[in-house]
Amino acid sequence: MVVWFVNGLVCKVLGAVPRHEAIVARILDHDYAHHLMIMIGLSEMVMAAWVWSGKWKKLNVWTQITLVAVMNTLESLIAQDLLLWSRWNLVWAGVFISIVYFNHRVSKRI
């Protein structure tokens, strides 16, 4: 939840990490990159609220996994030179996906 909120608010809405806007510009549209980045940031904050709410947990988990996988694959294919960890970004995305998945599996047992 914190990852979604911080990435959404700090990195995108407040624009603290200009690299994010450059990635959006390259993948989506340079002319609207700033506005798209803010919309993406707000969406990430909504994702954080959804995680926090605990509603529709299974749908939430699979939505997170899908978004992270698609986003990181596109970034690696189109904007790898702008990524913080270059090729290793996919590894960190895999770690995040694993944490989301296993956290969900563990919470189902409790």
Average pLDDT over residues 64-90: 94
Q: Residue 56: CB partners within 8 Å, gap ≥ 6?
A: 50
Query: Taking the alpha carbons of 70, 76, 78, 80 in that order, is the dihedral positive or negative?
Result: positive
pTM of the model: 0.88
pLDDT for position 1: 85
Residue among 52, 55, 50 nearest 67 (CA) = 50
Residue among 109, 16, 103 nearest 51 (CA) = 103
Average pLDDT over residues 81-93: 92
